[in-house]
Amino acid sequence: MDKILEVKDLKISFRTSSGTLKAVRDISFDLERGKTLAIVGESGSGKSVTSKAILGILAGNSIIEGGEILYDGKDLLRISEEDMCKIRGDKISMIFQDPLSSLNPIVKIGKQITEAMILKNRASRKDAKRSFNNHLALLKKNMLAANDPSMSAEINKLVETLDKMSIEGNKLENNYNGEKTEAVDLLSEIEDFLFKASKKQKLDVKKTLSEFEKALAGINDPFLTAHYDDKLKELGAELSAAKNAYVAPKKGDEATVLSDEITSVLEKIKPILAEITAHQAPNFFRIGYYKLMNPNASLTEMPIEEFNEFALKYLDENFMKEFISLESKGVEYSFKQALEKKKAVIAKLEEAKTFYAGEFSKADATKLCKELSDEVEESIDRLETSKDSVAYTFRTALTTAINKYFFYLKNNPKEEKRFAKQSAKRDRLIAKGKTVTWKVVPKVVFDLKDLKADIVAVIDRLIVRYTDYIAKADEVDFNERSVAIIDYFKDKASQVVYKVTAKMAKERAIKLMEEVGIHEPRTRYYQYPFEFSGGMRQRIVIAIALAADPDIIICDEPTTALDVTIQAQILELINNLKKERNLSVIFITHDLGVVANMADDIAVMYAGKIVEYGTADDIFYDPRHPYTWALLSSMPDLDTKEKLDAIPGTPPNMIYPPKGDAFADRNKYAMQIDFEECPPFFDVSETHKAATWLLHPDAPKVETPKAITDRINRMLSKSGGEQDGE
Ligand X SMILES: Nc1ncnc2c1ncn2[C@@H]1O[C@H](COP(=O)(O)OP(=O)(O)OP(=O)(O)O)[C@@H](O)[C@H]1O
Per rule CB under 6 A, is residue 46 in the interface with ligand X? yes
Draw the binding track, 33-72, toward Mg ion (x: CB under 5 A; -: no contact). ---------------x------------------------
Nearer to ligand X, 545 or 588 (CB): 588
Instruction: List, as own/partner pairs, every contact residues 562-566 make where C-beta atoms lie below 8 angstroms and the sequence separation is at least 24, other chains included.
Output: 562/534, 562/535, 562/538, 563/535, 566/534, 566/535, 566/538
Residues pairing with 556 in the sheet: 588
Binds ligand X by CB under 6 A, chosen from 29, 30, 38, 45: 45
Binds ligand X by CB under 6 A, chosen from 5, 20, 31, 44: 44
Nearer to Mg ion, 13 or 48 (CB): 48
Q: Find the shortest distance in angstroms from Cβ 101 to ligand X.
A: 13
Q: What helix, strand, coil percent values describe the chain, rounded to 5?
A: 60, 10, 30
Distance (Å, rounded) from C-alpha 642 to C-alpha 580? 39
Q: Find the shortest distance in angstroms from Cβ 555 to Mg ion.
A: 11
Q: β-strands 62-71, 36-40: how paired?
A: unpaired
The DSSP result for 439-461, as a single string, is: -PPPP----HHHHHHHHHHHHHH
Distance (Å, rounded) from C-alpha 302 to C-alpha 307? 6
Of 47-55, 171-179, 279-287, 450-458, the window that binds ligand X (rule: CB under 6 A) is 47-55
Q: Find the shortest distance in angstroms from Cβ 52 to ligand X.
A: 8
Of 38-46, 192-200, 274-282, 667-675, the window that binds ligand X (rule: CB under 6 A) is 38-46
Nearer to ligand X, 98 or 192 (CB): 98
Per rule CB under 6 A, is residue 625 in the interface with ligand X? no
The SS3 of residue 683 is strand
User: What's at 138, amino acid-wise?
Assistant: L
Per rule CB under 6 A, is residue 59 in the interface with ligand X? yes
Distance (Å, rounded) from C-alpha 54 to C-alpha 415? 30
Per rule CB under 6 A, is residue 590 in the interface with ligand X? yes
Q: Find the shortest distance in angstroms from Cβ 556 to Mg ion.
A: 6
- The residues in 60-79 that bind ligand X, with binding defined as CB under 6 A, are 61
| Contacts of 475 by beta carbon, 8 Å cutoff, 6+ apart | none
The DSSP result for 146-183, as a single string, is: HS-GGGHHHHHHHHHHHHHHHHHHHHHHHHHHHHHHHH
Binds ligand X by CB under 6 A, chosen from 79, 500, 554, 654: 654
Nearer to ligand X, 546 or 611 (CB): 611
Per rule CB under 5 A, is residue 170 in the interface with Mg ion? no
Of 45-53, 139-147, 419-427, 657-665, the window that binds ligand X (rule: CB under 6 A) is 45-53
| Contacts of 207 by beta carbon, 8 Å cutoff, 6+ apart | none
Per rule CB under 6 A, is residue 16 in the interface with ligand X? yes
Nearer to ligand X, 50 or 142 (CB): 50
- From the list Mg ion, ligand X, none, pick the one residue 45 interacts with, judged by a Cβ distance below 5 to 8 Å according to partner type: ligand X
| Contacts of 178 by beta carbon, 8 Å cutoff, 6+ apart | 221, 499
Nearer to Mg ion, 48 or 277 (CB): 48
* Phi, psi values for residue 426, rounded to 5°: -65, -45
Of 37-45, 614-622, 704-712, 718-726, the window that binds ligand X (rule: CB under 6 A) is 37-45
Q: Find the shortest distance in angstroms from Cβ 555 to ligand X.
A: 12
Strand arrangement, sheet containing 3-16: 19-32, 3-16, 62-71, 74-75
- The residues in 486-515 that bind ligand X, with binding defined as CB under 6 A, are none
- From the list ligand X, Mg ion, none, pick the one residue 646 interacts with, judged by a Cβ distance below 5 to 8 Å according to partner type: none
Q: How many residues sit in the footprint of Mg ion (CB under 5 A)?
A: 1
- From the list ligand X, Mg ion, none, pick the one residue 688 interacts with, judged by a Cβ distance below 5 to 8 Å according to partner type: none
- From the list ligand X, Mg ion, none, pick the one residue 18 interacts with, judged by a Cβ distance below 5 to 8 Å according to partner type: none
Q: Find the shortest distance in angstroms from Cβ 612 to ligand X.
A: 16
Q: Find the shortest distance in angstroms from Cβ 602 to Mg ion.
A: 17
Residue 274 CB neighbours (<10 A): 13
Binds ligand X by CB under 6 A, chosen from 4, 5, 7, 23: 23
Per rule CB under 5 A, is residue 667 in the interface with Mg ion? no
| Contacts of 664 by beta carbon, 8 Å cutoff, 6+ apart | 658, 670, 674, 675
Distance (Å, rounded) from C-alpha 31 to C-alpha 551? 11
Q: Are the CB atoms for 5 and 569 separated by under 8 Å?
A: no
Which positions touch ligand X (CB under 6 A)?
A: 14, 16, 21, 23, 41, 43-49, 59, 61, 590, 654
Site of interaction with Mg ion (CB under 5 A):
48
